[in-house]
Amino acid sequence: MMIRILIALAVLTGATTYFTNQEEAYTPEKEQVILESVLLALSQAHLQPVDIDDAFSQRIFDEFLVALDSRKRFFIQEDIDALAVYKMDLDDMLQQSDLTFFDKVVELTDIKIKETQAYYQEFLAQPFDFTKEESIDMDYEDMAYASSSEELKDRWRQRLKYYTLQELESRINAPETKKSSTSEGAEDTEDAKKAAPATRVEMEEAARQEVKDAYDRWYANYEKTRRSDRFEQFLNVITRQYDPHSAYFSPKGKQDFNMRMGGKLEGIGAQLLTVGELTQVVTIVPGGPVWKDDRLEVNDYILKVAQEGEQAVDITGMRIDDVVSLIRGPKGTIVTLTVQKKDESQVDIEIERDVINLEIARARGAMLQNEESSDKFGYIDLPMFYNSFDGPEGNSSAKDVAAFIDTLKGEGMDGLILDLRDNLGGALIDAIEISGLFIEDGPIVQVKSKNRRPYIHKDTDSGVHYDGPLIVLINSFSASASEIVAGALQDYDRAIIVGSQSFGKGSVQNFIDLDRAIRGNDEVKPLGELKLTIQKYYRVNGASTQLRGVMPDIRLPDTYENLPTGERENETALPWSRIKEVPFGQEVLTYEGVDQLSASSKKRVGESEEFAMIKEYASWLVENKNNTKVPLNLDQYIAYKDAIDARGDKYDGLLDNEVAGMTIDAVRMDFESEISQKEKDARAEVWQEVVSKDFYITEAMQIVGDIVHQEGYVAAEKKDKN
């Protein structure tokens, strides 16, 4: 079956179709058309197509099995060996639209999951022996498949025992249990009987029932799994071989994606992705409840979801749309997420749902002072690069940042700190315009498509909004547009970049509507859409921001500095590369003595208790992540859990204390907004309190002070623009 695909039209228009009807069943003919069109689009329009060869075939084979059984709960080595006949042939089969391997794996998965259904019912019907010396290894990634059905069944016993142990420990250490166990009063009264804690036997029985209920729900949910869900999974294993950001969306999947990305949803404000059987947080939406709460982080895994007053639902293996439905809800209601953090620890995070309004994520500004100095430093916090694209009357982050600069200059600031930490990007035009606020004019970023010359985005406004000392704060979650601004200002030697290595996302994606891209085949449409990487960003010095991100001029300790984070975490991330540098330069302000600034900062950081704690925490994250064995003895597990909680509590208090001697005067702007003045004032007060406890900002102030007082910069001769 040959199809013609109009790649150029789809990439240029970025057209999107919104489907409101129930997705129709996938027929073999429809699957073949989708597979062929996806492979053709990837080969013709992807920025850097990969070779479809035997190595590609092996990766598809391994990763699809992982996608269906990431925790090695269903397949045994004998199953893998039986499927291995396809391992070296998938490249040829896919190019011939042969889905035999997909059919075989889905069929086998259904059989194996039904076989294991009896395991949990058997093991959870009787008490576990928690006095036995036993442990479980939670390193699923490096774990071999079970060598036999007997070994697989024993793994199920261990895991069910572990999940029951988790529930039992939470009951034993529940505040109400401890409180009632120490209550005083007459033992014979009815109230005393009600206050008495459950026995260990009763709590163990309740814990087993909790785990059984979770598995009952999981298997019931599995019965609803559509073939199209599995097919979408299979296609995304293919697209991920090209890069982590290319993905196929079924018609319903794209509709759900559009809803999740909307700015007025009632929910928690996080974009989610299925990784194997788990649900991962990939983006925190600025302005949403999660963004304000600050406990749920990018790359966390959500394991369970509980509605207020109800039992938690295990979402392992659940379809992403069903997960979203559980998490989303009306404003004011409470949802509790059981989350697995980077260090493999699990925490319950209670979140109040709200209307996600991007307006509350607009830029904020303040004047900062240290009581030991008369210096006044402007501070602008930019959570995202936003733009309503409504012309001069619309809002934009560039316009807001310029307004804050004007106000802060009017109040006599001696230096400026632009905070781009945790800013995952946004509108490219605003990144260009914000960069241009600090230079006269010139190139800001290059964008290169496959087989085309780079297109240079320039600042064409010859005006300079601010010509004084400038610090840009970044961290490992500063991405995309943030990296464009930080990279440009670093290349121009216009700002000192402070913090940690940025995220490293230097690629550009666009949606291809397969219905528009493919001629004919109307009988099998709708086909869905393909999110495709089509371009790369390059700095004016020719270096890509892809993979390596932006390296700070002055490095500060980072929580995740010892762990693979950002784009570097993905094995299929596009490589770093370089193109030709473009001519650039500025005569506003350049810096000298950066080595001296860095040495002074390093000395302060070395004497700081807070930064010492950050370094200790970063080391502990690695230590705890590598410690994958968990005891299944109750007393040992309680001690193990208490030790993790104690360390976690120790580090949770890092931002609890206000920085001594810092005063903050928030700059109030009369931005038009749907938010009431009362709510604005309340949020400003909360934000001001957060800033007052942020020792990274304090160190940035110290660096600006060094620039001002130690002659660490040179005010260049200004160009005559007249």
Task: Name, of 162-166, 185-189, 709-713, the range with top average pLDDT.
Answer: 162-166
Instruction: Determine the pLDDT at residue 449.
Output: 96
In this prediction, residue 61 carries a pLDDT of 98
Of 273-282, 369-378, 447-456, the one with minimum mean pLDDT is 273-282
Phi/psi-derived region of residue 80, left when phi > 0, alpha when psi is between -120 and 50, beta in every other case: alpha
Percent of all residues in the chain with a pLDDT value above 70, rounded to a whole number: 88
DSSP 286: T
pLDDT at 517: 84
SS3 at position 75: coil
Can you spell out the DSSP letters for 396-445?
A: BHHHHHHHHHHHHHHTT-SEEEEE-TT---B-HHHHHHHHHTTSSSEEEE
Residue 145 CB neighbour total at 10 angstroms: 17
| 359-506+535-594+659-714 CATH choice from 3.90.226.10, 2.60.120.560, 3.30.450.40, 3.40.605.10 | 3.90.226.10
Whole-number Å distance between alpha carbons of 123 and 153: 10
**pLDDT score, position 265:** 47
Which DSSP letter does residue 568 get?
A: G
Q: Worst-scoring range by mean pLDDT, 312-321, 405-414, 441-450?
A: 312-321
User: What is the pLDDT at residue 251?
Assistant: 80
C-alpha to C-alpha distances, 622 to 344, 347, 559, nearest whole angstrom: 10, 18, 10
Asked if residue 666 lies in contact with residue 688, where contact means CB atoms within 8 angstroms, the answer is yes
Whether residue 526 has a cis bond before it, omega within 30° of 0? yes
Write the Ramachandran bin of 712: left for phi over 0, alpha for psi from -120 to 50, otherwise beta. alpha
Q: Taking Cα atoms as reference points, which of 464, 446, 442 lies closest to residue 456?
A: 446
| CB proximity list for 310: less than 8 A, separation 6 or greater | none
Strands, E, within 20-162: which ranges?
Answer: 135-137
Locate the domains of the chain by residue range.
50-239, 264-355, 359-506+535-594+659-714
Task: Mention every residue, 6+ apart, whose C-beta is less than 8 A from residue 660.
Answer: none
Give bridge partners of residue 714 from the DSSP assignment: 590
More confident residue, 173 or 158: 158
Q: How confident is the model at residue 269 (pLDDT cuts 50, 70, 90)?
A: confident
CB 566 within 8 A of CB 503: yes
Predicted confidence at residue 299, as pLDDT, reads 82
d(CA 621, CA 559): 8
- Answer with the residue of higher pLDDT: 548 or 345: 548
**For residue 377, what pLDDT band results from cuts at 50, 70 and 90?**
very high
- Residue 257 reports pLDDT greater than 60: no
Least confident among 253-267, 498-512, 622-636: 253-267
Q: Answer yes or no: are the C-beta atoms of 452 and 434 closer than 8 Å.
A: no
Is the pLDDT reported for residue 349 higher than 80?
yes
How far apart CA 507 and CA 582 sit, in angstroms, is: 19
Averaged pLDDT, 429-449: 97
Q: What's the rounded mean pLDDT across residues 251-260?
A: 60
Q: Give the mean pLDDT of the chain.
A: 86
Band of residue 290 on the pLDDT scale cut at 50, 70, 90 = confident
The answer to whether 479 touches 495, Cβ cutoff 8 Å, is no
Cβ atoms of residues 3 and 33 within 8 Å: yes
User: In terms of residues, how long is the chain?
Assistant: 722
264-355 and 359-506+535-594+659-714 in the same fold: no
The answer, yes or no, to whether residue 306 has pLDDT greater than 50, is: yes
What's the pLDDT score for residue 673? Answer: 61
The secondary structure of 470-537 as a DSSP string is EEEEE-TT--THHHHHHHHHHHTT-SEEEES------EEEEEEEHHHHB-S-GGG----EEEEEEEEE
User: Which residue do the tokens 């006095």 mark?
Assistant: 131
How far apart (Å, rounded) are the C-alpha atoms in residues 492 and 506? 19
Tokens standing for 681? Answer: 């004032």
Residues 11 and 510 sit within 8 Å (Cβ to Cβ)? yes
- For residue 266, the model assigns a pLDDT of 59
376: confidence class by pLDDT, cuts 50, 70, 90: very high
Q: Which two tokens stand for residue 242?
A: 């090209």
pLDDT band, residue 518 (cuts 50/70/90) = confident
3-state SS assignment for residue 59: helix
At 11, the pLDDT band (50, 70, 90 cuts) reads very low
**C-alpha torsion sign, points 342, 346, 347, 349:** positive
Residue 40, both tokens: 């053709």
pLDDT of residue 599 exceeding 80, the answer is yes
**Residues in Cβ contact with 722 at an 8 Å cutoff, skipping those fewer than 6 apart:** none
What residues have CB less than 8 Å from 321, skipping those under 6 apart? Answer: 252, 253, 256
Predicted confidence at residue 291, as pLDDT, reads 80
pLDDT in tens, 21-77: 344 567 899 999 999 999 999 999 999 999 999 999 999 999 999 999 999 999 999
Amino acid making up residue 143 = M
Q: Quick one: fold of 264-355? A: Pdz3 Domain (2.30.42)
3-state secondary structure of 602: helix
Q: Which amino acid is at 243?
A: D
How confident is residue 3, by pLDDT bands cut at 50, 70 and 90? very low
pLDDT confidence bin for 264, thresholds 50/70/90: very low
Q: Which two tokens stand for residue 579?
A: 């193109």
pLDDT digits (tens, 9 = 90+) for 460-469: 889 999 999 9
pLDDT of residue 202: 93
Phi-psi region of 411 (alpha: psi -120 to 50; beta: other; left: phi over 0): alpha
410 pLDDT exceeds 70?
Answer: yes
pLDDT digits (tens, 9 = 90+) for 176-230: 555 454 444 444 445 444 445 579 899 999 999 989 988 998 888 888 888 888 9
How do residues 129-146 score in pLDDT, each as one tens digit? 999 999 999 998 899 999
Which pLDDT value is given to residue 255? Answer: 60
Give the DSSP H/E element, type plus range, for residue 455.
strand 455-459
- In this predicted structure, what is the pLDDT of residue 711? 63
Q: What is the largest CA-CA distance in the chain?
A: 95
Contacts with 508 (C-beta within 8 Å, 6 or more apart), sequence order: 447, 533, 534, 535, 536, 537
> What pTM was estimated for this model as a whole?
0.85
Nearest by Cα to 303 from 275, 283, 331, 328: 275
Q: How confident is the model at residue 715 (pLDDT cuts 50, 70, 90)?
A: low
Full DSSP string of 14-42: -------SPPPPPPHHHHHHHHHHHHHHH
